[in-house]
Structure 1
Amino acid sequence: MIRSHTAGTSFLSILPAMVILSLLTVPAHAETKTATTMGGCKFSSDLALDVWVIRTTETGLKRELVGRPEQIGKTPSPQPLNIPRCLLWGITPIGKADIKALVLASRFCNNFPPALRLREASDADLAELKGMAGLRTLMLGGTNITDAGLAHPKGMEGLGSLELWGTKISGTGLVHLKGLKKLRDLEIGGRNTNITKADLSHLKDFTGLESLELHGKTIRDADLVHLKNLWWLESLKLSGTSVTGAGLVHLKTLVGLKNLDLSNAAITDTDMVHLKDLVGLESLNFKFTKITGTGLAHLKSLKRLRRVNLGFSKITDESMVHLKDLTGLESLELGRTQITDAGIAHLKNLVKLQVLALWSTQITDAGLANLKGLVDLRTLMLQSTQITGAGLLHIKDMVLLRELSLCRIPGLTDASLSHLKGLKGLRVLDLDTTNITDAGVSHLKGLVGLQELDLGNTKITDAGMAHLKALTELQMLSLRETGISDAGLAHIKGMTNLKTLKLASTKVSDAGLVHLSGLTELQRLDFSGLNSAMNITDAGLVHLKGLVRLQELGLTLTNVTNAGLDDLRKALPKTNITPRK
């Protein structure tokens, strides 16, 4: 039976038993909807589904998931899942999808999820899906769909986004999609596909497209000639293609283009001259390219440019000088480059920067001195750099910082964390794989707004845990591979907002699990031993039986028996417990 819980809508009549999707749409909080976000509701189902979101903003240690589906839960679940405000949310059937059940649910439920992602799909499945006229987003990446199968989505009149990367289409099937007048986003190419110039000729008729993604080495310069009349195109991704400057010349008519992704493409510095007339560009991605940075001189005319990604490129300190005139930049990615302090000196006038990634570069404390004026920074990624504790003095006045990553920095000292005391706005702090001890953790006790804290593989002990007990807003805490024991867990029993707790390879035993019984919001809990078995046995599992919101529980390399696992599964039937028998 499906019941609609939307305010003002009466219960629907009883439907066939195969229709087992049930949606709850009670607002999770009083936030006004905008044209660009959705969610803010609750969702439940009796179908075996992964439920996911694509977020609109960077969120904590999960910032790399932005733009990709991030799983927030599974159904069936003990409680309805909260769907946060997001760019998009949807479902993915677990195992072989019951397409008929999904189609029936979409017809009779007023609030069917706006997006459907299939891990497995054939042309025959698409024939069933064509009845889902209200579906907004269909994600078929990596499936066995062919050109013939594309004849079926033409009946999905409401379809606005279609993902076809890694399918078996050649491109000729695109002719069937011309009737999808609401189609705004299209993604094709990549492995298994065999796109040719002739196949992409159909793109010239998709004049309503706002976003287009073309992947793979089979996409060449000549293919881009078919894009020159896509006047409404705002976002174009050419990641991993064979496109060079000869192809970029065809883009000069796309005056509305805002986002251009050339990551892992074949472009060079000289090819960048063709970008200088795309004055509406706000975002450029050169990640994994061979550019050295001399071509950045051609970007001076792009006054609206806000985001540039040069991660994993060949950019040099000398060419960093071309960035100093891009004073409107708000986000700059330089991770895994050979930039040193000399290059960082050219950033000190980019005072509008909010996101700066310098991880795995050659910068030292001296280089950080050039950043002290960037007080608008919200995210600063410094992991795996050459800085020491002394360098943190230069960031102590960045009071707007929300996310700071200092993991894998050998020179980080306990005393240096005193410079973080004034960063009361911090929500995410990553200190994983550092030499921080209890003395260093003592400087964190005033950061009561922290939501994510990673202390994995540090030298914290039970004594240091006392400094964390005031951090009751924490939703994620990692203590993996530390010396924490049962006594240390006593200090986290007041962290009732915790959703993720990582205790793998600690000294925690059965006796310590009693301190977790009140953490009823927990969704992910890991006790797995990594190098040796943890002293968790069947006797300790009784304290976990009340954690009904648990979605994932790791017990690999513990002393739990099969009988203990069976008993726990009776109490937590909807929790994914590893190992399986």
Structure 2
Amino acid sequence: MGSRHFLPPVAPMAAATGGELRLVDRCIDAAARDAATVEAWRRQRRSLERLPAPLADALFRRLAARRVLFPSLLEVFKWSVEEVDLSGSLAVDAEWLSYLGSFRYLKVLKLADCKNVDNGAIWSLAGMNTLKELDLSRCPKISDAGLRHIVTIQSLEKLRLSGTKLTDNGVMLISSLTNLSLLDLGGIRITDKTLRSLQVLTRLEHLDIWGSEITNEGASVIKAFTGLRFLNLYWTSVNHLPVPPTMRCLNMSKCEIHSICYEDSEVPVALENFTVSEAEFGNIDKVFAGIQAGTLLYLDMSSCDLSNLSFMENMKNLEHLDLNSNRITDDAIEHIAKVGTNLKYLSLKGTGITSQALCVLVGTVPNLTSLSLSHTKIDDSALAYVSMMPLLSTIDLSHTSIKGLFLLTKHLSSLIMSICFLL
């Protein structure tokens, strides 16, 4: 075999200079050119075993992207690769996992949307205690039987199982994985009883249980997860939520929300990210009284049937505000103007505003970079106001009464902008 087929020695990725990184990338590109090239070097197993993990991971990703990976080729990476992402591959099945299960240093395995990965295939991963992260999201053939193999991997810190066929009883087995910091059970119909069984997972920082059958009674145990920072309760029946002081990101979209609070405390919750698209509110002022207005950076209230925004007036640090498809008119815009100083993204798509709303916003949103006005009543008179927003770089004016690009560029001649028409 000619020397031209050998992978050249390269510097470790972390220490490489810009020139070395370009050379490494060219080497990887050449090695993954086509099936014939791969066949030429794949017999050099000892050379591959000595590859630094970052380089082996990069080569593996390139081969996967070019679809020149096959099961027997996996074996040459068993001593070097630490991260594998085969998400969405219909080819991945039990044969593939039999090779992946022998990887000695594998830390991350992503198999989301791999429709042919089943319970039998997962058996090959049993006891694989180098593994820190496993993603089996939307693998429809994974059920409780497969989970029994997964819970033997005691090293797991991140586990994604949304959209699988796990049952309430199966999910209870996860309580043995006490190193978990992230658990995604989205779309699985778990009950209050199951959630209580997971209280032993004291290291949890991220919990996704959207679409579950959790009620207020079950949600009362959320406060027991004392390190929890992210919680997704989308499309559940929870409306009274006690949360731990660590909570920063909360999704209660499609919920009917009555209260959010720390248990037995009048101190508001220090949320940074609050997503409540399509939610309903018992008393919206009471709900937001339980949240520290000054800590909110991201607020998504799209499709909430809102007309009054007075509850927003103290949210001075908001950077992202989505009010898409609400009953907002020009009268409500003054409340946005009062909190506009740090806004970078604003969506008023599908609301009842007119060009007058832009007149109110001028001078109050100095950091705005993205603005959606699609499906509103604005017309050409809005263009002069838009041109006075100094950092605006993306704007959606589709389905409005704006006459055309000529008038638009005339009014925006003083700005360097990219105008996004999403027709």
Question: Scaled by the length of structure 2, what TM-score is found?
Answer: 0.81
CA distance in 2, matches of 1:449, 1:487: 24
* Closer, same or farther: CA 420–437 of 1 in aligned 2, 3 Å: farther
Whether the 8 Å CA contact 1:376–1:398 is kept in 2: the answer is no
Residue matched to 1:508? 378
Partner Cα distance (1:113, 1:542) in 2: 47
CA distance in 2, matches of 1:203, 1:378: 40
1:554 and 2:421 are equivalent in the alignment: yes
Residue 518 of structure 1 aligns with which residue? 388
2:231 to 335, 347, 356: 356
The one of 81, 96, 111 equivalent to 1:223 is 96
> What's the counterpart of residue 268 of structure 1?
143
* 2-structure distance, mates of 1:329, 1:539: 54
Query: Which residue in 1 is equivalent to 2:322?
Result: 454
1:147 aligns with 2:147: no
Structure 1: where are the runs of 5+ without partners?
1-34, 37-109, 115-131, 155-171, 557-581
Q: Is the 8 A contact 1:413 1:436 kept in 2?
A: no
Cα distance in 2 between the residues matched to 1:352 and 1:112:
43
Paired AA for residue 82 in structure 2: E
- Residue aligning to 2:25: 135
Q: Is the 8 A contact 1:486 1:507 kept in 2?
A: yes
The residue type paired with residue 274 of structure 2 is: L
Alignment of 1:375-390 (within 5 A): 375-385=245-255, 387-388=256-257, 390=258
Query: Would the aligned equivalents of 2:329 and 2:352 in 1 still touch at CA under 8 Å?
Result: yes
Aligned-partner SS, 1:184: helix
2:294 partner letter: K
For 2:36, give the aligned amino acid: A
Aligned-residue offset at 1:253: 4.9
Q: Do residues 489 (structure 1) and 367 (structure 2) align? A: no
- Give the direction of change, closer, same or farther, for the CA distance of 1:177–1:449 in structure 2 (3 Å limit): farther
Equivalent residue letter for 2:370: T
Deviation at 1:555, TM superposition (A): 7.1
CA contact (8 A) 1:482 1:505 kept: yes
- Correspondent of 1:312 among 151, 164, 187: 187
Partner in structure 1 of residue 5 of structure 2: none
Q: Which residues of 2 match residues 95-134 of structure 1 at below 5 A? A: 111=18, 133-134=23-24
| 2:127–2:152 contact (8 Å) kept in structure 1 | no
| Cα distance change of structure 1 residues 192 and 316 upon mapping to structure 2, 3 Å threshold | farther
Q: CA deviation at 1:279?
A: 1.9
Task: Establish whether residue 281 from structure 1 lines up as the match of residue 148 from structure 2.
Answer: no
Q: Write out per-residue CA displacement over residues 58-84 of structure 1, whole angstroms, 9 at most, x where no aligned residue.
A: xxxxxxxxxxxxxxxxxxxxxxxxxxx
Match of 1:63 in 2: none
Partner of 2:294: helix, strand, or coil? coil
CA 231–316 in structure 1, closer or farther in 2 if over 3 Å, else same? same
CA offset at residue 513 of structure 1?
1.8
Pick aligned residue for 1:202 from 62, 73, 85: 73
1: CA distance between counterparts of 2:27 and 2:178? 33
**2:341 aligns with one of 469, 472, 480:** 472
Larger helix proportion of the pair: 2
Aligned ranges for residues 273-352 of structure 1 at < 5 Å?
A: 273-352=148-227
Is structure 2 residue 273 aligned with structure 1 residue 400?
Answer: no
- State the alpha-carbon separation in 1 of the partners of residues 234 and 379 from structure 2: 36
- How far 1:227 moved relative to its partner? 2.6
Q: What secondary structure does 1:400 align onto?
A: coil
State the distance in 1 between where 2:247 and 2:93 align. 38
Match of 2:121 in 1: 247
Aligned residue-pair number: 395
Q: Distance in 2 between matches of 1:345 and 1:174?
A: 57
Change (3 A) 1:175 1:231: closer
For residue 430 of structure 1, report the CA deviation from its aligned partner.
0.9
Structure 2 match to 1:212: 84
| Partners of 1:213 and 1:464 in 2: CA distance | 46
CA contact (8 A) 2:371 2:394 kept: yes
Counterparts of 1:9-158 in structure 2, within 5 Å, are: 111=18, 133-135=23-25, 146-148=34-36, 150=38
1:15 corresponding residue in structure 2: none
Q: Aligned-pair distance for 1:355?
A: 0.3
Whichever residue aligns with residue 134 of structure 1, its letter is V
Is 259-268 or 220-229 further displaced after alignment?
Answer: 220-229
Q: Distance in 2 between matches of 1:539 and 1:274?
A: 64
Answer yes or no: is the 8 Å Cα contact 1:421–1:443 preserved in 2: no
Measure how far apart 1:314 and its partner are.
3.7
Show the counterpart of 1:94.
none
Contact 2:328–2:351 at 8 Å: present in 1 too?
yes
Change (3 A) 1:317 1:422: closer
- Contact 2:345–2:368 under 8 Å retained in 1: yes
State the partner residue of 1:237.
110
Q: Which structure 2 residue ranges, 5 or more long, are not aligned?
A: 1-12
Q: Does 2:311 correspond to 1:423?
A: no
Q: Deviations over 1:504-552 (max 9, x none)?
A: 12222222221222223212101111xxx5244544542222220x234
Q: CA RMSD in A?
A: 3.5
Pair 1:416–1:205, CA change in 2 (3 A): same
Residue 259 of structure 2: SS of its match in structure 1?
helix
Which residue identity does 1:453 align to in structure 2?
A: L
Which residue is equivalent to 1:543?
A: 411
Q: 1:188 to 1:398 in 2, by over 3 A?
A: farther
